[in-house]
Amino acid sequence: MEIKPTQLDMTNPFAPFQQRVNQVETFLRQLPPAQREQLLAEMLPPMPMHRPSSTVEPAVTMVSVKTEEWDGGPVVQQQYPTAVIRPRRIVGTIPWQWRWIVAGIRLTRIVRKSAKQQMKQFNKLQRQMIRRVLPRHKAMRGARAR
């Protein structure tokens, strides 16, 4: 079986389709005009006429507007910034059970953070102790050989 170099060439992924279109065009050119028209009428359905849709916006036109020249004077700015009024959250009374839950969550976070710091400090001390008692002929990375 022979492999054509165009089958492996992926620079144009539409090449097989274009080749097929070219073959069809050459076949249609070889037909007599009356038979060609009849074949095209059978193969291609009539195209519906499109009316201009009102949902499609008209093309944008760019217009230049003449403005007065700026003399380089001071730019007029607002004296006070615009006030943004945000609605306040109305705080209702919180039941005592919820207060206990919130206190428990906060206490848990504090204890976890403390335990994490203590574990970090303990590991650091442990590494220092290991470095001190190392044998002289096999020093650990980062430790000074004695």
| Residue 35 placed within a domain | yes
User: Of 2 and 18, which is predicted with more confidence?
Assistant: 18
SS3 2: coil
| Residue 80 placed within a domain | no
| Residue 92 placed within a domain | no
| Residue 111 placed within a domain | yes
pLDDT in tens, 30-84: 888 888 888 878 877 666 665 655 566 677 788 888 877 777 777 777 677 788 8
pLDDT in tens, 94-108: 889 999 999 999 999
pLDDT attached to residue 118:
97
pLDDT attached to residue 138:
60
pLDDT attached to residue 73:
75
| Residue 19 placed within a domain | yes
Distance between CA atoms of residues 103 and 94, nearest Å = 13
pLDDT attached to residue 110:
97
- One DSSP character per residue, the chain reads -PPPHHHH--S-TTHHHHHHHHHHHHHHHHS-HHHHHHHHHHHSPPPPPPPPPTTSPPPP-------PPP-S-PPP--SSPPP--PPPPPP-PPPHHHHHHHHHHHHHHHHHHHHHHHHHHHHHHHHHHHHHT--SSSPPTTSPP-
Say whether pLDDT at 134 is over 60.
no
Say whether pLDDT at 136 is over 60.
no
| Residue 38 placed within a domain | yes
pTM: 0.31
pLDDT attached to residue 124:
92
| Residue 32 placed within a domain | yes
Distance between CA atoms of residues 108 and 112, nearest Å = 6
Structural domain span for residue 109:
97-133
pLDDT attached to residue 116:
97
| Residue 25 placed within a domain | yes
Number of domains comprising the chain? 2
Q: What is the mean pLDDT of the chain?
A: 79
